[in-house]
Chains A and B, each alone.
Chain A
Amino acid sequence: MIGAITLLLVFQLLGEVISRGLALPIPGPVIGIALLFIALTVRGGPSADLRKTAQAMLQHLSLLFIPAGTGVMLHFQRMSDEWLPLLISLVASTLITIAVTALVLRFLSRHRDLPQDTP
Chain B
Amino acid sequence: MTPRISEIWVYLAASPLLGLTLTLLAYQGATWVHKRCHGHPLANPVLLAVAALVALLSLTDTPYSTYFDGAQFVHFLLGPATVALAIPLYAQIERLVRLALPLLVALVVGSLTAALSAVAIGSLFGASRATLLSLAPKSATTPIAMGIAERLGGLPSLTAVLVIITGIVGAIGGRYVYRALHIEDDAQRGFAMGIAAHGIGTARAFQENEQMGAFAALAMGLNGLMTALLLPVVIPWFLGR
Cβ of A98: which chain B residues have Cβ within 8 Å of it?
Answer: 170, 173-174, 177-178, 192-193, 195-197
- Distance between Cα atoms of A15 and B90 in the complex (Å): 18
- Distance between Cα atoms of A91 and B125 in the complex (Å): 13
B224 touches A74 (CB 8 A): no
- Distance between Cα atoms of A53 and B110 in the complex (Å): 31
- Chain B window 17-57, contacts with chain A (Cβ cutoff 8 Å), 1 for yes, 0 for no: 00000011011000100000000000011100110011001
Cβ of B105: which chain A residues have Cβ within 8 Å of it?
Answer: 104, 108
Interchain nearest-CB distance for B150 vs A (Å) = 11
Interchain nearest-CB distance for B135 vs A (Å) = 6
Q: For the complex, would chain A's binding face be called helix, strand, loop or mixed by DSSP majority?
A: helix
A66 touches B113 (CB 8 A): no
Size of the B side of the interface (Cβ < 8 Å), in residues, is 113
In-complex Cβ contact of B131 among A30, A54, A85, A112 (8 A) = A85
**Contact A33:B200 (CB < 8 A) given known A40-B87, A75-B161, A101-B110:** no
- Distance between Cα atoms of A55 and B81 in the complex (Å): 10
**Contact A69:B50 (CB < 8 A) given known A64-B78, A93-B121, A108-B102:** yes
B183 touches A102 (CB 8 A): yes
Query: Could you say which of B58, B102, B141, B173 has the most chain A C-beta atoms within 10 Å of its C-beta?
Result: B102
**Contact A94:B195 (CB < 8 A) given known A12-B83, A26-B225, A89-B118:** no
Residue of B nearest to A108 (CB): B102
Q: Is A92 close to B, CB under 8 A?
A: yes
Interchain nearest-CB distance for B26 vs A (Å) = 6
- Chain A window 50-90, contacts with chain B (Cβ cutoff 8 Å), 1 for yes, 0 for no: 11011101111111111111111111001100101110111
Residue of B nearest to A36 (CB): B86
In-complex Cβ contact of B177 among A59, A75, A95 (8 A) = A95
Q: Is B101 close to A, CB under 8 A?
A: yes
B residues contacting A by CB (< 8 A) are 23-24, 26-27, 31, 44-46, 49-50, 53-54, 57-58, 64, 67-68, 71-72, 74-75, 77-90, 93, 95, 98-99, 101-103, 105-106, 109-110, 113-114, 117-119, 121-128, 131, 135, 138-139, 141-144, 147-148, 151, 157-158, 160-162, 164-167, 169-170, 173-174, 176-178, 181, 183, 185-189, 191-193, 195-197, 199-200, 202-203, 206, 211, 213, 219, 221, 224-225, 228-229, 232
A residues contacting B by CB (< 8 A) are 5, 8-9, 11-12, 15, 25-30, 32-34, 36-37, 40-41, 45-46, 50-51, 53-55, 57-75, 78-79, 82, 84-86, 88-106, 108-109, 112-114, 116
Known contacts A32-B86, A96-B117, then 13 further A-B pairs from the complex at CB < 8 Å, ordered by chain A residue = A15-B83, A30-B225, A58-B85, A63-B49, A72-B161, A82-B131, A90-B166, A94-B114, A94-B197, A95-B176, A97-B139, A97-B192, A109-B187
